[in-house]
Each structure stands twice: as C-alpha cells, then as structure tokens.
Amino acid sequence: MNKISLLSQLTIILVRPKYPGNIGAAARIAWNMGIENLIVVSDQLPEREPMAQMATHKAAHLIDNLRLCTTLPEALAPFSIIIGTTARRGRQRIIERSPREIVETILPQLENNRTALVFGPEDSGLTNEDLKHCQLLSAIPTADFSSLNLAQAVAIHCYEIYYGIVHSQKDMLPAPRLASSFELESMYSCLEKSLTQIDFMGEKSHTYWMNNIRQFLAQTKLSSKDTNIIRKICRKFLLNSKTKNINHNGAP
C-alpha cells in the first residue's frame, strides 16, 4: 500500500454535532487532506443544504455518502484504532498526546488497521462514556484558551495526518491487524460479567475498575485471536459457575 492510499484507512467521526455547517466544513477539510470517509453519530440526518454549502461542490460527495449511526459503538464497530479528541486535559487516565505524536504512533499500524478519528459536540466535547472506547487521546496544544471550533480541530488533525504520511522518511514494516472495536466490546462485556460473578468489583468502584482494565488491555494491542481467547475463557467460567450454582441449589 503506497503512502497516499493509507488515507483510505482513516474515517472522521463527528459525534452529536449541533450545526450542519460544521459537518460540511469538516467534509471540506477532510477532502482537502485526502480523507474520504465521514460518519455522523446522531438521531437523524442533519439538513443537507447547510452541510453542502460549507463543503462546497468539491466535497459535496462526502456529504451525500456520509454514514449516519445512532450510537457511537455502532459507528466504531469496524475500527481497530480509535483516537478520541479532547480539550479537557488531565481529566482522563489515558495520557493525551498532541496530533503530531498521535500520527507517529499510528503510522506503522495504518496499513492493516482501519482508524477512526472521533470528535465530540461543539459545546461539550466527547463524554467520559464516549472516551472509554478510545485507545488514544489527542489534545491540541495551545498557548492559553484550549477550546477550538470543531472544524478547526478537524483541520489540524487532518493536516498532521496528511503531512505525516506524505513526508514520513521511515521505512515501516506494517503492524499486524488488531481487534476491532466490536470484538473488544464483546470481550469487555464478557470480562465484566465474569468479574461481577466473583464480586471483584464493588458497586462504587465498578466503573473505575472497568476503565482501568480497558486502559491496561489497550496497551497490549490485542488481536482478534486474543480477544476470542479471552471471551472463551470468560464464557467457560460463567457456564461452570452457573452449573455449580444449579447443583448447589438443587442439592438435598
């Protein structure tokens, strides 16, 4: 896969955007930088005309072909690398990196892994619930006021990715294919049920433990095979636990 074709592995995901014009502006920017895939997470498709007007005729096809998803997990299901953007520095346990640092991290993985770049609503950004699905967090360094317009944030990230790909001087061996978000979420669900079964997590620390487990496993770069093994172990454990409970309750 040549350098420019790596851009086809990237998708911009806009979560609950408030203004159709910002979707159009994001589409225009993405097309400027060679990124053709756009997903909007919303209950309904925004009005086309304001989107198309900001996209201009050059990027209108991105508006016409954008994918609409009602939930973020649905949008993320096929992606193996998920980058969440945030201006709320220091609030997450995942270390935020600059867009340039993010590019250096993902470049070797792009060839075999579909990658999503996720942006939140204009007024509030991505929630903690949204960010739990992300393996990487990107925060744009600023001199003081850290909040940027949605289209500006998209522009900076898209430019850094395009520049990083086109001007990379490194000969990189492609990294192996990683597990998709769908496979990871299925694994986390099984893990959560198993840990709940053994009372590992108290009610107050339930979210705390699952977030830490997600962050720990995200660092290991699990493959599809890895997640399948963990799911099978958890399912076997739950099945045996259920059988023991039945036998115990039915014993004289």
pLDDT of res. 218: 86
Distance, in Å, from the CA atom of 97 to the CA atom of 159, rounded to the nearest integer, reads 16
Q: What string of H, E and C letters represents the secondary structure of 84-132?
A: EECCCCCCCCCCEECHHHHHHHHHHHHHHCCEEEEECCCCCCCCHHHHC
CA 38 from chain centre, in angstroms, equals 13
pLDDT of res. 167: 86
Q: Which of 76, 64, 72, 167 is nearest to 114 (CA)?
A: 76
**What global pTM score does this model have?**
0.88
pLDDT of res. 205: 73
The mean pLDDT of 103-120, rounded to a whole number, is 94
**SS3 call for 81:** strand
Between 118-127, 228-237, 241-250, the lowest mean confidence (pLDDT) is in: 241-250
Residue 161: exposed, middle, or buried by beta-carbon count in 10 A (0-12, 13-18, 19+)? Answer: buried
pLDDT tier at 90 (50, 70, 90 boundaries)?
low
pLDDT tens per residue across span 16-59: 999 999 999 999 999 999 999 999 999 999 999 999 999 999 99
Q: Where are the alpha helices (DSSP H) in the chain?
A: 20-32, 48-64, 72-76, 99-106, 128-131, 150-167, 181-197, 206-218, 224-250
Between 40-54, 76-90, 99-113, 167-181, the lowest mean confidence (pLDDT) is in: 167-181
pLDDT tens per residue across span 123-174: 889 998 999 999 999 999 888 777 789 999 999 999 999 999 988 766 666 7
Over 90: is that where the pLDDT of 112 sits? yes
Among the CATH numbers 3.40.1280.10, 3.30.230.70, 3.65.10.10, 1.10.3720.10, which is that of 4-167? 3.40.1280.10
User: For the chain, what percent of residues have pLDDT higher than 70?
Assistant: 89
Query: For residue 129, what are its two tokens?
Result: 């619930």
pLDDT of res. 246: 59
Name the fold adopted by 181-250: Helicase, Ruva Protein; domain 3 (1.10.8)
Token pair 């003081």: residue: 144
**SS3 call for 3:** coil
The mean pLDDT of 112-120, rounded to a whole number, is 96
Q: Which of 90, 250, 78 is nearest to 181 (CA)?
A: 78
| All structural domains of the chain with their residue ranges | 4-167, 181-250
Tell me if 4-167 shares its fold with 181-250.
Answer: no
Instruction: List all residues 6 or more positions away from 134 whose beta carbon is below 8 Å from its beta carbon.
Output: 82, 83, 84, 94, 118, 126
pLDDT tens per residue across span 189-205: 999 999 988 888 776 67
150 with 119: CB under 8 angstroms? yes
